[in-house]
Structure formats: C-alpha cells, structure tokens
Chain A
Amino acid sequence: MMAKYIIQRIIYMLITLFIIASATFVLMQFLPGSPFNELGGKMTAEQEEILLEEYGLNDPVPVQYARYISNMVQGDLGVSFQYDNRSVTSIILDRLGPSAHLGAQALVIGSILGIILGMVAAIRHNTWVDYSSNVIAVIGISIPSFVFAGLLQYYFAVQWRIFPPSFWEGPIYTVLPTVALMIFPMAICARFMRTEMLEVLGSDYIELARAKGVSNNTIMFKHALRNALIPVITVLGPMTVSLMTGTLVIEQIFAVPGIGEQFVRSISVNDYPVIMGTTMLFSVLFVVVILVVDLLYGLIDPRIRLTGGKD
C-alpha cells in the first residue's frame, strides 16, 4: 500500500516536472530576439548563421525539444548567454553554496525560535506573553521580507554600523540576511505551534496526566510538546516557498553571491538559459520537499492514512 502510494506520488512529481520543463522550452521559443541580439548588430549574417548552427538553433523545433529534455535529464541545462561558454549547471553549482548556507541557517534558527515562541505563548495562554507572540507572528507573516531587509540594512548597517551592510565574507556577514530570511518561517512556526499546543493541552490525555499527578514540566515536554511538534512538519512546504522567494530578494539586497542574486541579474539581462535552469532547480526543490513532507507526516503520525479513503 505504502509502496504503491510512493510510486504514484513520484509519477505525479515527474509529470509535473516534465510539464514545467516543456513550458520553459516553449517559452524560450516564444521569447523575443535571438541570443545573439545582445552583440549589438556587430555580426554579419554569416557569422550569426555559424553561431546558430553551432548552438543547434537551426534544427527543427521537435529535434531541439528532444535534445533539450534529454540534456536536462542528464543535468545539462544549456549554456549561458551572458557568460561566454559557461554552462548553466556550473553557474548554478558555483552559487549554490551561499544560498544553501543562508537558507539552512534561516530555516533552522527560524523554526527553533518559532517553536519556542509558539510553545511559550500556548503555555502562557491569554497573558501578555501570548499577545506579544501573536503580534510578532502577525508582523512576521505580513511584512514582506524585502521591506524588512531594507529596514534592517538601513538601521543596523547604515545608521548604527553594527553589522556590515552587504557582501559575503564571513559569519558576521550572514547575520542580517539570515534575520531577514528567517522572520517568515519563525512567524508561521510560532503561529502553528501555538494552535497545536493549545489543542493538545486541552485534550483528555493531558487532563489524565494532570489527574494522576504528573509534574507540569513532564506534561509540557514529554506529552504536549512531542505531540504538538508533529503537525509542524506540514508548514515546511510554505516555508520552502518563502525561502525561495526570500533568497531572490534578500540576496540581491545584501549582495550575497547566491542563486537568487544570479537569478535576478539574469532576468535583468534576459539570460534565458540561466533563468530556465534556476526555474527548474526551484521546481525540483519544491516538488521534492512537498513529497518528503507528505511521506514524513505519514511515517511519524500513524493516525494519518496516506492512501486516503474515497472521501
């Protein structure tokens, strides 16, 4: 049953990715201009012809399509228009490091702080602790990360000169971008955790534990926290999305040499292969995270039946 479900999900995942890949290909065909327009008309028609031939752009569209897909499956995402002869794959791999570092840091710190915040809010339900945690959560969910990043940069770097305003040259440089990126995961975690915790605290088995005289700490950490933590896995999906959108803008603001910064730059110079390659990377990341979340959830909490009934 489980195996069948996983296989079915993976098939859907592949169809999704195939559709995205095809869409990127179709889009490349429709986008205005040829990659050599940028050279400013300094090329003769013959030179352009040679280049088109060399890059296989004169082949019939189905041939190009088949080649595109088969290359992509092998991890070859084409050649960048912007950087001479650099493959998109190598550009992306070069820039993966800072993005992964920043994302992981923001995800881990953000979720831990969020879980603590949500838990404390639930334990001190309807006190000022709860209210201020709620306010933080609403602000974190509402304020766009680039606005937050801008304000952080202005006050902490430009005005008070506590942290460096940009670049990526050591741990101290990661502080501001991490804070800007983690605010959404933190808020969404805090909010979710609070609700789950409140629900668990109101349940019968907690009541029973109290009745038989279990100490408050044991109840909180052994019973309540454990059970409340499980559903928090489900917010990993939205968190991934927020990290992806976040890296695009935050890396640009803080001049972090990551994928997001490259992506925005590629958009501004119409470097289509890099844009499409990064798009594929984001899609794969997203689809895999969603799948992992669903599977994990089923594994950890046996009450969830993955296969589902006919509802």
Chain B
Amino acid sequence: MDKDHNYNPEQFERIQLKDDAGEQLTRPQISYWKDAWLRLRKNKGAIIGLFVLAFIILLALVGPFMNKYEFDDPNYDLAYMPPKVQGLEWLGLDGKQTYEVQGSTKEDAITRGLEGYEIDEEFLLDSEVILPAEESDNGYMTVAMEVDIYAARGLEDEYYWFGTDSMGRDLWTRIWKGTQISLYIGLLAALIDMVVGVLYGGISGYYGGRTDNVMQRIIEILSGIPNLVVVILFIMLLDPGLIAITIALTITGWIGMARIVRGQVLKLKNQEFILAARTLGANDKRILMKHLIPNVTSVIIINTMFTIPSAIFFEAFLSFIGLGLQPPYASLGTLIDTAFDDYRVFPYMLLFPAVIISLLMIGFNILADGMRDALDPKMRR
C-alpha cells in the first residue's frame, strides 16, 4: 500500500499563489451612475414621474402637428367651441355646450338664449330649470340649456379636441405649443442657474479667503431680496418676452446652487485626492474642472431638477399677474390666465392647461425627489 504513495513530483504542477487574488472582484463593478439608476428604478413614484414627463414632453413635441389647425389662426365664427373627440363622446368630450340663460318663463329664457347665441331651435337637446324665479335675486328663472353647438355651426365633421378659445383658435394646438414654451423656459432657466451657480460657488469655495468673503457677502445681500420682487421689477423694465422672462428668473435663481456648490467644494478641497493632485502639479483650473466639479455633479443635478418646476411655476405665475408672454404666443400660464375670463361658462378652457401644468409640476417634483434619494442617499428628506 505504501508503495502506491510514491508521488512523482513531475506529475504535479505548482500553482503560484496569487497575491492579488483577494483583491479581485467577484461581481462586475457597478459605476456610480448605474448604481443610482438601479436605486431610482426601485422608486415607484420617480418612475411614474418619469413616464408622466415623457408622455407630456412627447405630446408637446408632436401635439401641434396632430391636427390641421394652427396655434395663431383666429376664426371668430368658431369661438368657444367645446371639446369634441371621435370615440370619446362618453367622456363628455361630445361637443355639447350647456348655457345658463335667464328669462321670466322657461320658454322665454330658451328663446332669449337661442337668439343671444345665434343657435337654431332644432339643435336644442335638453333644457332644465336650475334656479326657479322665486329663489333668484332678480325675479328671473335660470335655465340650463344643452345644445349641439357643432351641428348648429354646421361643423359635424370638425373635431376640436380641446375646444377653441375666445378667438376661435384650436386649444389643442395652443396648449401643446404652450407646454413647449413652458418647458423651454423651465429648462433654459435651470441651465443658466446651473452654469452661473456652479461657477460662482466653485470659485468662491475653492479660492476661499478674501475672495470667498467678498463673494459670500454679495450673496448674503442678494439673497435678502425676494425673488418675486426682482422678477417683477425686471419684467417691468424689459418687455415681457421669452428671453426677458428667462433672464428675470435667473437673476437671483442661481444663489441656491452657488451656496450648495460652495459648501461641497469647501468640504472636498482639503481631502487627500485633491492634495495629491496639487502635489503632482495640477493647476487650479484642472483641479476645479477635473476633480472638484465631477464630485459635486450629483448635488448639481439634484438642485437643477428642482429648479425646473419652480421656473415653470414662476413663468405661469407671471403670466397670471399680467407680466407674461404677449399674444399670439402662449405658455401654459397665459392659457390659464385667459381661461379665467370665461371659465364659469367654458370650464374646459381652464381644465386642460390646469391639468397639464399640474401633471408637469408633479412629474418634475417626484422625479427630482427620487433622483435625490438615488444619487445621494445621505440627503434623503
């Protein structure tokens, strides 16, 4: 038996012990961005936000080409046509309009209404007394009359999907054009804020000392000025146009970004890898661009994502108080503003832009929340 244990060293091969084997990764390395994406994907809210945004952006781009109407093509005969969509009549998008009219009797009210709106009697679909004469302040009864306004205008084959406005312009086209402009202002303002804020904050934090001191004092004074005030004053000075509004939004908009970037740079600039780069002779520009800014990218992205919805909101707000884009151009804000003149009778004019701007804001906000959680788990709020 023992003889069998006679090993021949030549039958064996010696395996070199690998020193670096312990360092080897057993799984493929995941980059920071891939990791962030995996985390983002798990966040249901963020994904919903992403889809909502993608859907709205897509419609904003192709929507204006989906029918034959132009956004600035008035047709006064066809003002205030209610929305009508093929196949969606059951949703209420049936092109029927309900008017509230007043008269001493029901018949009187209807006759007055039909005359006033220039509608033939045969298109009257339904009528109902909604406020009897005894209960009203002026002694007349209020009657709701439903008419098939498309038929009355001889437009059985026309379909204004979102209806038309007071000048007979197609609201579908106008709303998606307006969404384009709102998005454009939001993105551009966020981009300018980002560039200015990153440069200012980066320089201030990196150079420190007296430079930082002066730059921070300037920020302190500027940040005391409410955004609202700056924007309103600036728009009054310039004529409200696309560029003026965007610039107005960015005058103090970059301050938040500058502060955050400065804080990050201050934290990073004394860390070892920066010292190493400096020891190796890298100049300021290289350290700033190659080492510092890449390391604050996630913070920059998160902050930019929050700037977009607030810029969209501010633009809409400006339009609402009468400092917005001038006609025939429209943004979601100006559309909502004009809708307020007539929405008690024509609620669809308010409803569609209101829903779209709300979805847009919710989409950006929940996506930004999700991105913050995914990119920077420490900042979770």
> A20, B229: Cβ atoms under 8 Å?
yes
Contact of B344 among A16, A154, A267 (CB under 8 A): A154
Per-residue contact bits, chain B 208-226, to A (CB 8 Å; 1 contact, 0 not):
0000000001001110111
Q: How distant is the Cα of A79 from the Cα of B323 in the complex, in angstroms?
A: 23
Q: Mark A79-91, 1 if CB is under 8 A from B, else 0.
A: 0000000000000
A106 to B229, CA, bound (A): 22
- As a 0/1 sequence over residues 220 to 263 of chain A, the CB contacts with chain B under 8 angstroms (1 = contact) are 00000000000000000000010011001100110000000001
Minimal Cβ-Cβ distance residue in A for B235: A267
Nearest opposing residue in chain A for B224, CB measure = A16
Q: With A and B bound together, what is the CA distance between A18 and B164 in angstroms?
A: 48
Given contacts A15-B221, A19-B225, contact A142 B309 (CB under 8 A): yes
Q: Are A282 and B228 in contact (CB under 8 A)?
A: yes
Q: Interface stretch among A37-45, A69-77, A167-175, A283-291?
A: A283-291
Contact in complex: B221, A267 (CB < 8 Å): no
User: For the complex, is A151 an interface residue (Cβ under 8 Å from B)?
Assistant: yes
Question: In this assembly, does A97 line the interface, its C-beta being within 8 Å of a C-beta of chain B?
Answer: no
Measured CB to CB, the closest approach of chain B to A77, in angstroms, equals: 15
With A and B bound together, what is the CA distance between A157 and B354 in angstroms? Answer: 18
A158 within 8 A of B: yes
A144 adjacent to chain B (CB < 8 Å) = yes
The interface stretch among B74-82, B281-289, B361-369 is: B361-369
Q: Which of A24-32, A51-59, A297-305 contacts B (4 or more CB under 8 A)?
A: A24-32
CA distance A150 to B346 in the complex (A): 13
Q: Given the known inter-chain contacts A30-B237, A264-B321, please indicate yes or no for A142 contacting B225, CB distance below 8 A.
A: no
Asked if residues A12 and B221 are in contact (CB atoms below 8 Å), the reply is: yes
Give min CB distance, A247 to chain B, whole Å: 11
Q: Nearest chain-B residue to A289 (Cβ)?
A: B226
Q: Which of B222, B226, B336, B366 contacts A147 (CB 8 A)?
A: B336
**B224→A13 contact, CB < 8 A:** yes
Is B232 among interface residues, defined by CB-CB distance under 8 A?
A: yes
Provide the residues of chain A in CB contact with B347, threshold 8 Å: 154
Taking the nearest CB of chain B, how far is it from the CB of A123, in angstroms?
18
* Complex Cα–Cα for A151 and B355 (A): 10
Chain A residue with the shortest CB-CB distance to B344 = A158
The answer to whether A248 and B321 touch (CB under 8 A), given A31-B237, A144-B361, A150-B343, is: yes
The stretch of B85-93, B296-304, B312-320 that contacts the partner chain? B312-320
Contact A144:B321 (CB < 8 A) given known A158-B344, A282-B226, A283-B229: no
Counting CB contacts under 8 A, is A268 at the interface?
yes
Q: CB within 8 A of A249: which of B45, B229, B317?
A: B317
Q: Is the CB of A142 within 8 A of B228?
A: no
- Is A179 on the interface with B (CB-CB < 8 A)? no
Q: By DSSP majority rule, is chain A's interface helix, strand, loop, or mixed?
A: helix
Shortest distance between the CB of B321 and any CB in chain A (Å):
5
Q: Mark A132-143, 1 if CB is under 8 A from B, else 0.
A: 000000110111
Q: Contact at A286–B317, with CB atoms within 8 Å?
A: no
Q: Which of A12, A138, A252 contacts B224 (CB 8 A)?
A: A12
Q: Is A92 part of the contact surface with B, judged by Cβ < 8 Å?
A: no
Q: Chain B at the A interface: mostly helix, strand, loop or mixed?
A: helix
Complex Cα gap A139–B309 (Å) = 13
User: Which B residues are in CB contact (< 8 Å) with A13?
Assistant: 224
Residues in A with CB closer than 8 Å to B185 are none
Q: Do the beta carbons of B366 and A138 come within 8 Å of each other? A: yes
Determine if A46 is an interface residue (Cβ-Cβ < 8 Å): no
- What is the minimal beta-carbon distance from B213 to any residue of chain A, in angstroms? 10
Tally of A interface residues using CB under 8 Å: 45
Q: Is A275 among interface residues, defined by CB-CB distance under 8 A?
A: yes
- Least Cβ–Cβ distance between A25 and chain B, in angstroms: 11
Do A282 and B229 form a contact, CB below 8 Å, given A31-B237, A146-B320, A147-B354? yes
**Pick from B316, B343, B362, B381: contact of A142, CB under 8 Å:** B362
Interface check A195, CB cutoff 8 A: yes
Q: Mark B137-157, 1 if CB is under 8 A from A, else 0.
A: 000000000000000000000
User: Which chain A residues in 117-170 approach chain B with CB under 8 Å?
Assistant: 138-139, 141-144, 146-147, 150-151, 154, 158
Residues B323 and A267 in contact, CB atoms below 8 Å apart: yes
Which of B221, B266, B313 is close to A144, meaning CB atoms less than 8 Å apart? Answer: B313
Residue of A150, A154, A249 with most partner-chain B CB within 10 A: A150
Task: From the candidates A31, A146, A195, A245, name the one contacting B228 in the complex (CB within 8 A).
Answer: A245
Given contacts A144-B317, A147-B336, A147-B357, contact A16 B221 (CB under 8 A): yes
The answer to whether the Cβ of B340 comes within 8 Å of any Cβ in the partner chain is yes
Min Cβ gap A306→B in Å is 14
Q: List 14 A-B contacts (CB under 8 A).
A: A13-B224, A16-B221, A20-B229, A27-B236, A138-B366, A144-B316, A144-B317, A144-B358, A154-B350, A252-B320, A263-B321, A279-B229, A282-B226, A286-B225
Other than A154-B344, A241-B228, give 10 A-B pairs with Cβ distance below 8 A: A138-B45, A138-B366, A142-B361, A151-B354, A241-B226, A253-B340, A267-B322, A279-B233, A282-B228, A282-B229
Question: Which residues in B have some Cβ–Cβ distance to A below 8 Å?
Answer: 45, 217, 220-222, 224-229, 232-233, 236-237, 266, 309, 313, 316-317, 320-323, 336, 339-340, 343-344, 347, 350, 354, 357-358, 361-362, 364-366, 369, 381
Residues of A within 8 A of B (CB): 12-13, 15-17, 19-20, 23-24, 27, 30-31, 138-139, 141-144, 146-147, 150-151, 154, 158, 191, 195, 241, 244-245, 248-249, 252-253, 263-264, 267-268, 275, 279, 282-283, 286-287, 290, 311
Which 4 pairs from chain A and chain B are nearest by CB? Answer: A16-B224, A142-B361, A286-B226, A142-B362
